[in-house]
Amino acid sequence: MQPMEDKEFIAQMAQFTSVEQLMNISTQLTAMNQSLGSVSGLIGKDITWTDAATKLPKTGNVESIVVSNGIQYAVVGKDRIALTDITQIQNAAATPEGGSGTDSNTPENSGGSGATI
């Protein structure tokens, strides 16, 4: 009936700490995946935000979502807009009635591949 030796006790504590940290990482990854899944619905939507430099509202179409340092950003052209800075979200503007039905900026008309991500 010997009590556990110090070395064994310390090794066991280190293992418990490692398991706890892995569980925390797993929880954080799950939360991030769920969060990305919900904000991915912004892709293809028109958003409005206040430009930091000019203090004027800007509007653009969300091309992708980026996570940097735990903050989610909507990518519009060369701009990265923090999701907390978005003031309006709406469906992308439809082709106006009576229009030609084509947009010179679409991949089909600009020589692009036509593939969307």
3-class SS of residue 35: helix
Residue 97's pLDDT is 58
Question: CA-CA-CA-CA torsion for 67, 68, 72, 78, nearest 10 degrees?
Answer: -90
What predicted TM-score, i.e. pTM, was given to this entire model?
0.51
% of the chain at pLDDT higher than 90: 13
pLDDT tens by residue, 13-37: 899 999 999 998 988 887 777 667 6
For range 68-86, the mean pLDDT: 86
Instruction: Between 21 and 71, name the one with better pLDDT.
Output: 21
Percent helix, strand, coil in the chain, to 5, is 35, 25, 40
39 token code pair? 């904000």
